[in-house]
Structure 1
Amino acid sequence: MLFLFTAATISAGAQNQKFGHIDLQALVQVMPERATAETEFNKFQSDLEEVLGEMQQNYQQKLTELEQLGTEASEVKRNAKITELQELQQRIQNYQMTAQQQLQQKQAELLTPVFDKAEQAIEEVAKEQGLLYVFDMGSKVVLYKSNQSIDILPMVKKKLGIQ
């Protein structure tokens, strides 16, 4: 008798468990903050590319100068130009590596607040709906989703004031 009561209680408790799901990337894509972050990121990237372009143009100019020296130029002068070109090429490579790191840092800096806001809204909706777990369907980690799982994307968009 006690066994049946315990089994019935566990079964009833299991039926009250609610799960939700959302595509976090789809949510972030419609957030106005993401568009603002993307615009700022693109401007930052353009600035870095502009500097790189100037460096490459300077390299091409120095290369042309070396080619135009002709046979009458001394070996000392030719070697000085070659050394200058090698140093400039090294600076360009260093700049490219540094710029790539700066781009990654800037992207994280700009997107972290957007994801934080999205996750905060998801947490609020999950609590309002009494959900135990919310799975990110965009990550493809969830291998099965029941029809009883609640898609909270519309509720989170509403909470964030997104149409």
Structure 2
Amino acid sequence: MKIKQLAILLLFLVIGQFVNAQSGLKIGHVNIQELVQKHPASDSIKIILENETKEMEKLYSEMIEEHDVKLGLFEKEKSGYSDFVRSSKEKELIDLAQKIQEYNQDAQQQLQRRNMELLQPLYVQINSTIKEMSDREEFTYVLDISNGSVAYVSPNSHDLNPAIIKKLKNKGHQNN
């Protein structure tokens, strides 16, 4: 997948250089992942996420420890339990294990949401800065080399969709 993205990016760059020589088209590139990592707020976000992760891991460890203690006690005393009490204790242990598993999944999802929540303002600021600089420097396209996508398209670029749609509709009428 990365090779395909890089090939597309390279194709854009080659075409861009050719067209640039013809028309004044200006193409630049950025690495948004690197910009996020080097953003001044990135370190404080990392610290916030690390602290929240430690807090969640602490509770997870406490839950595991509680389960292990109950399991050890059950294993030691199960021979003295009646069938009803033994099955009740087994169900309690299974329920606790499921609760721990659900907590772990919920915690992971919460950390992902929190990460996105904290990073969103950085992406907004980075994209705004890319647009501002691209407009000022008159770039037609700015490519994001971290994922092979277009990070900015000038309002002066030519949208070919209307002409292509018209052509496709004309071909459709000709085939009918």
Q: How far, CA to CA, are the matches of 2:77 and 2:54 in structure 1? A: 35
Matches within 5 A, 1:19-98: 19-69=27-77, 71-98=79-106
Number of residue equivalences = 132
Gaps of 5+ in 2: 1-18, 151-176
Please give the per-residue CA displacement for 1:4-28, whole angstroms capped at 9, x wherever unaligned: xxxxxxx999432211111111111
When residues 72 and 13 of structure 1 are mapped into structure 2, their CA distance, relative to the original with a 3 A threshold, is closer
**Per the alignment, in what secondary structure is the counterpart of residue 17 of structure 1?**
coil
Alignment RMSD (CA, Å): 2.1
Structure 1 position 76, deviation (Å): 3.0
Please give the per-residue CA displacement for 1:5-59, whole angstroms capped at 9, x wherever unaligned: xxxxxx9994322111111111111112111111111111111111111111100
Q: How far, CA to CA, are the matches of 2:110 and 2:55 in structure 1? A: 12
**Per the alignment, in what secondary structure is the counterpart of residue 80 of structure 2?**
coil
* 2:142 corresponds to: 134
Contact 2:78 2:86 in 1 (8 A): no
Contact 2:28 2:139 in 1 (8 A): yes
TM-score (norm 2): 0.68
Contact 1:69 1:78 in 2 (8 A): no
Name which of structure 1's ranges 88-97 and 59-68 shifts more when overlaid on structure 2.
Answer: 88-97
Matches within 5 A, 1:138-153: 138-141=146-149
Please give the per-residue CA displacement for 1:59-101, whole angstroms capped at 9, x wherever unaligned: 0000011011053333333222212101101111211221121
TM-score (norm 1): 0.73
**Of the two structures, which has the highest relative contact order with CA contacts closer than 8 Å and spacing of 6 or more?**
1
Contact 2:28 2:141 in 1 (8 A): yes
Contact 2:20 2:26 in 1 (8 A): no
- Give the one of 109, 115, 126 matched to 1:118: 126
Gaps of 5+ in 1: 1-10, 143-163
Counterpart residue identity of residue 143, structure 2? F
The percent of aligned pairs where both chains have the same amino acid is 30
